[in-house]
Amino acid sequence: MKLRNGAEYIESLRKIHPIIYYKGKRIEDVTRHPATAPHVRAAAMTYALASSKEYRDLATATSHLTGRTISRFTHVHQNVEDLIKKIKLLRVLGQKTGTCFQRCVGHDGINATYSVAYEIDQKYGTDYFERFKEWLTHIQDENLMVVGAMTDPKGDRSKSPAEQADPDQYVHIVERRDDGIIIRGAKLHMTGGVNSHEILVMPTTAMNEPSRDYAVICALPVNAPGVTMIFGRQASDDRRDKMERIDAGTRAFGTVGGEAVIAFEDVFVPTERIFMDGQTEFTPAIVYRFAAHHRANYGACKTGLMDVLIGAVSYLTQIQGTAKASHVRDKTTEMIHLCETLYSSSIACSAEGWPTPSGAYMVDTMLANVCKQNVTRLHFEVARLAVDLAGGFIATLPSQYDLESEDVGHLVKKYFSGVEGIPYKHRIKIARLIEAMTGGTALVESMHGAGSPQAQRVMILREGNLDKKIKLAKALVGIPLKSGTPRIRK
> Catalytic positions, please?
100, 104, 191, 259, 294, 298, 301, 445
Question: In this structure, are residues 161 and 170 in contact, taking their beta carbons and an 8 Å threshold?
Answer: yes
Question: Are the C-beta atoms of residues 397 and 432 closer than 8 Å to each other?
Answer: yes
Cross-strand bridge partners of residue 199: 147, 220
Q: Alpha-carbon distance 490 to 367, whole Å? A: 38
Secondary element (H or E) of residue 468: helix 466-477
Give the three-state DSSP class for 314. helix
Residue 180 is which amino acid? G
- Residue 127 CA to residue 272 CA, distance in Å, equals 9
CB 306 within 8 A of CB 335: yes
How would you class 124 by CB atoms within 10 Å of its CB: exposed for 0-12, middle for 13-18, buried for 19 or more? exposed
d(CA 306, CA 454): 23
Contact assessment for residue 362 and residue 353, using Cβ atoms and an 8 Å cutoff? yes
Dihedral over Cα of 16, 17, 19, 24: its sign: positive
Nearest residue to 36 via CA among 13, 8, 5: 13
Q: What is the DSSP secondary structure assignment for residue 392, as one 8-state letter? A: G
Distance CA 88, CA 300 (A): 7
Name the residue type at position 408. Answer: V
DSSP 397-416: ---HHHHT-TTTHHHHHHHT
In 79-201 the beta strands, taken as DSSP E runs, fall at 146-149, 172-177, 180-187, 198-201
**Degrees to nearest 5, angle at CA 448 with 107 and 48:** 35
User: β-strand 198-201 against 146-149: which pairing, if any?
Assistant: parallel
Helices (H), 321-448: 326-351, 365-390, 400-403, 409-415, 424-438, 441-448
Neighbouring C-alpha atoms within 13 Å toward the C-beta of 133 = 13
Q: Where are the beta strands (DSSP E) in 340-384?
A: 354-355, 361-362
SS3 204: coil
